[in-house]
Structure 1
């Protein structure tokens, strides 16, 4: 990142947590949720938090992390509507007196995820997720200001879900990409059918055209760096492999095993298995 920039960023990676599912993944792994990346973009005094985590325990840890920086948190931004990237936004906003913001499309998807809570999120993580009413508001021009520096909210359409966006920080040559880009973790494929992967590729191209040097992904292996070119290339390669392997296998188990063989180093095969089942329904 530019050494003369008054802005900086830090990343908190919440480790994988167990899902309330007794049946293991076909390779024998316990069903886990992918690691979650929470980003703090900060100036000398103020800061913006991007993609707050899923559970109350994770929010407490993130809140303590933010508090330790001594920064004044002004906004909490969610890149997309999946609950694992915003269900604790209200808790953290209340703790720091910040405002929750998102695009109009993401706000619509937030409401959809609230409706899914009883049958999906709360079944996977019973009594672990706080009350999460949708309090996010859109900001004029999709632009936040941090100590006189613009942070651009860029809408990219469908990636691993609908109505996604990223946060571009030109001063840092940084994109906080949510789930448009992945970094060493199996990608969520359950919403990638019916042209979804082609739309996802367009979203990746939109991010690439911002010319970032660093990308923070919504799900990352914390041992990996934030190199943008590598993360973009690997996310594209994974989607290309999905198309290739789908054409060769008639059932989710065959697809799962082939993808696992192709990408043995990626974290959380459970996410891959969930996507495999959805793609063959």
Structure 2
């Protein structure tokens, strides 16, 4: 995307992956993951990659894309702990000699997701995810200098998981927002119990206060633009709709169909079904981790 400054950004969107899980969705669709967006913020020579993808095959495609840009990759940033935003960071860092970085809180969550690999991620994509040791380090003041321009890692707390952050690029009026906001796809609500939606709304407020004109959501419909105003408003509305519909229905199937009816334009019905199952399992109590496994698998 062209700008009239010395830096700009481009986005690579990996298409939805089939999930190794039994059964169809309640609407008859097969299970597929959401699109995954990877952002390259670049100057005349150097570049920073945000939220590397999940599988080895995706990482090869992203690496070829970075190489074709002709830029020297200096840093790889993970916005939060979910593995689909960093499991291939080490593979790409080795290819380009880049430093993997994240906020201290996000690094803690990355360790948690490594411990969850065998029971969750490797079950859904067996043999497709490369080795993923946590090699991320913090940078001073959570700030990366890209050819004289500041790229700021901003902690925002709970969004679709704990200890999320965003990358703010003031000179582009840009926020690379990870999973704090979604753009044209169903929002993952599997970890939104116990006040999570209210915390998420506060996180969105933090992003809005940064004053971006453009937002890159890590899960997006690649045919939509990056309008910050629209994306923020639509994510807020989705959270409000989900809360109201969950209060009005007794079963996950009812919730699933009501949300499909409310938002027929959105991609990613699998994540909607996982969210529905997780929300209603949380109502019954039990171990949160076991509930999450049951919702996905």
TM-score category (smaller protein): over 0.9
Aligned position for 1:98:
98
Aligned position for 2:221:
221
Give distance in 2, aligned partners of 1:29 and 1:78: 31
Q: CA deviation at 1:47?
A: 0.1
Give distance in 2, aligned partners of 1:260 and 1:8: 36
SS in 1 for 2:118: coil
Aligned position for 1:10:
10
Give distance in 1, aligned partners of 2:247 and 2:39: 37
SS in 2 for 1:17: coil
Per-residue CA deviation, residues 89-143 of structure 1 (Å, 9 max, x unaligned), is 0000100000000011111110110000111000000000000000000111010
Matched, 1:80 2:84: no
Aligned position for 1:260:
260
SS in 2 for 1:175: strand
Give distance in 1, aligned partners of 2:28 and 2:131: 33
SS in 1 for 2:230: helix
1:139-178 counterparts in 2 under 5 A?
139-178=139-178
SS in 1 for 2:13: strand
Q: CA deviation at 1:3?
A: 4.0
Aligned position for 2:21:
21
Aligned position for 2:182:
182
- Runs of at least 5 residues in structure 2 that lack an aligned partner in the other structure: 282-297
Contact kept, 8 Å, 2:51 with 2:178, in 1: the verdict is yes
Task: Note the aligned Cα RMSD (angstroms).
Answer: 0.9
Contact kept, 8 Å, 1:184 with 1:267, in 2: the verdict is yes
Contact kept, 8 Å, 1:80 with 1:106, in 2: the verdict is yes
Give distance in 1, aligned partners of 2:60 and 2:256: 35
Worse-matched range after superposition: 138-147 or 48-57:
138-147
Per-residue CA deviation, residues 27-50 of structure 1 (Å, 9 max, x unaligned), is 111111100000000000000000
The TM-score, its normalising length taken from structure 1, stands at 0.99
SS in 1 for 2:248: coil
Contact kept, 8 Å, 2:2 with 2:8, in 1: the verdict is no
Contact kept, 8 Å, 1:79 with 1:166, in 2: the verdict is yes
Matched, 1:246 2:265: no
Closer/same/farther in 2, CA of residues 22 and 2 from structure 1, 3 Å limit: closer
Matched, 1:234 2:240: no
- Runs of at least 5 residues in structure 1 that lack an aligned partner in the other structure: none
Structure 1 stretches of 4+ moved >2 Å = 1-4
Contact kept, 8 Å, 1:2 with 1:172, in 2: the verdict is no
Matched, 1:269 2:269: yes
Closer/same/farther in 2, CA of residues 2 and 124 from structure 1, 3 Å limit: closer
Q: CA deviation at 1:2?
A: 8.7
SS in 2 for 1:120: helix
Q: Pick the structure with more helix per residue.
A: 2
